[in-house]
Each structure stands twice: as structure tokens, then as C-alpha cells.
Amino acid sequence: MSKPKVLIIYTGGTIGMIRDEKTGTLKPFRLERVVKSIPSILNLGIEIHAMELDEIIDSSNVTPEVWVELATIIGEYYEKFDGFVVLHGSDTMAHSASALSFLLENLSKPVIFTGSQLPIGLPRTDARENLITALEIAAMRNTNGESRIPEVCIYFEDNLYRGNRTHKFNSENFDAFLSPNYHVLAEAGVKIEVFDNHVLPNPKDELVVHTQLNSRIAIVKLFPGIDIHDYAEMFVEKGVELVILESYGSGNGPTSKRFLSSIRTLVENNVLIMNVTQCREGHVEMGKYESSTELSAMGVISGSDMTTEATVAKAMFVLGLTSDLNERRQMMRIPLRGEMTV
């Protein structure tokens, strides 16, 4: 086979930060310096090309427009490269990886998000290993020439995760991400071990790049004593089209008349409600307890074991794809990119 070609897309984030001598704060610098900091990547046997967004940003400033820009870039260069590595800040990486998984339909090549907890220029940085291994994974192909991992992933500290199954759980350790409800796709040790039975199948249809996202969504996290009556009225007035309800345990919420009346107000005004658990591990099982039976009866949709990050991205994608309420409801109930277990 010919030498694999991988495109690095630099968005910003800690991996490409440098300390400002005047203020002491970290600020992004250019991709050229990131690559020059790791001369050994030229010995990987990979033809590497690199580009950066017009505006290098901290991941806290990522917007749906950035997701669309990334998807468009990948679509534009899709036929020219065997894989893609997106350098991205870790704080919203799970959101971005989730969004790209939905925007890139029929993806048959790896899109690997990675970054670091320390800037690439520091002696103890995790950036070098993360970038080198992400490049190797993006270049992996089977003997028939097909990409080994045809999906959007996050690589961090020895583990490759499905992007829409992942969340950042630690802001201080190099091991910053977890995928509690789905097996890792690969582990990097002396060798990179790929768990093929957990990887999505390689699609046969052509790539479809979606560019429409609808962010008219809201998140309500339940807490003891919460009164969502005013929220419900505000959501209806402001035109919110989907509410993500972060419930307790396996999908439970209060059984008070006021709470249930507020949920009913939303449902009667054609606002979809997704029920996801506040627990980082486990899934929503509506009807298991009395406290979730009423929600189920009113048409609240179970988010199963989706992360909040994946639910946000999926909601924006589905709302942007169709305005039909029944189609939206059906799509939110089923896995589209391996983001949930049914």
C-alpha cells in the first residue's frame, strides 16, 4: 500500500499554548511551532499535512459554527487523505467530537481528536505522545486498504474512545477522559491494540457532510427543591424546541403536581424532552420507579446511556435536519452513530 496521508487540523487549545511573558497567561501560537516541537513525527512513515483554522481559539470559545467549519474542511479534503487529526482544547473536546460524529454521515475514515493537559513546549507535557499516537491511529488501514477505525474518536493518555461516548472527568490528570458506558476502541502500549468488535462497521455509502445545526435547546439539571414552572413558561416563550432534563439515577424526577404540570406544559407546546441521567455511568430506565412513570406517560424520551455532551450535539443535529415533530422524536430515540445503547 502507498504511504498513508493524514491531515492535521489545528483549532487551538492547551496543546498549542505558550506563556505570555508579560501577563503570565497561556495564549495560542501557530501550528508550525507545534509540529516543529516534535521532529520525530517525520519518522512515522506517514505523509503529514497540516492546516489551521483562520481563528485559533480556546476550546471554551467553540461554537456550532466551528463544528460546521471542521466538518466542511474534512468533507473538502476527504478524498485526499486516509485520516484526520483534530488538535483541540480538552474542555469541550467531547462536545466537538460528538457533533462531528453526527455531521459526518457514512464516515469511513478516522477523525481523531486529541490535545493535552500541558502545552507542547513544557518538559513534562503529554502533548507529544498524544499527537504521535493519534497520527498513527489515523493512518491505520486494513490489508484491503480500508481505514481500521472509521469513526470520530478522542485519543488521550493511552486510550482511544468513541467521541460521542466520552466526557472529560478530570482537569488535572493526564488521564482526563472516560467512556463509562462503552468499551474503549483501542489501547496504546508497546503496540496499539484495536478492539475491532467495538468499532463501528465501515459504511458502504458515500460521505454526507451536514451543515445545519439548530441550537434552540436548553438543559435543566434537577436538584432537590427545583421549581421548573418559570423555566417551562420561559422556554415556550423563547421558542426552545428541545429540553434536556438531567434527572436523578435511572431517570427519576419529582412527582409533585407542579413539576409534572410544568413538564406537561412543555410537551403540549411541542417541546421535546430528553431524559438523561446525572450519573456519569448507567442509563435511564423510565418506568422502573414510580417517579419516572409519569414522565414516560407524557412522552418524555429516554436518553438511555447517552452523555449530556452527545445529547446536546445530537439534539442540535436532529433539530437542524427536520422540523417534523414525529421524525425528531423517532431519531432522538434510536442510535444514529453508536452514541447510545438501546
Active site residue ranges: 14
CA-to-CA separations, 291 to 255, 279, 296, in angstroms, rounded: 6, 16, 10
Beta pairing partners, 218: 243
CA-to-CA separations, 115 to 18, 128, 254, in angstroms, rounded: 14, 9, 40
Please state the separation of Cα 39 from the chain's center in Å.
30
Buried b (16+ CB within 10 A) or exposed e, 125-148: bbbebbbbbbbbbbbbbeeeeebb
Query: Within 13 Å and on the Cβ side, how many CA atoms surround 115?
Result: 28
With 0-12 / 13-18 / 19 or more C-beta atoms within 10 angstroms meaning exposed / middle / buried, residue 326 is exposed
Question: If you search the block for the grid coordinates 507542547, which residue do you land on?
Answer: 120
Strands 47-52 and 26-28, by their bridges, are unpaired
With 0-12 / 13-18 / 19 or more C-beta atoms within 10 angstroms meaning exposed / middle / buried, residue 299 is middle
- Residue pair 116/12 in contact (Cβ under 8 Å)? The answer is no
Strand order of the sheet with strand 5-10?
Answer: 47-52, 5-10, 83-87, 111-114, 152-156, 159-162, 186-188, 192-194
Q: Which of 102, 95, 106 is nearest to 314 (CA)?
A: 102
Question: If you search the block for the grid coordinates 498513527, which residue do you land on?
Answer: 136
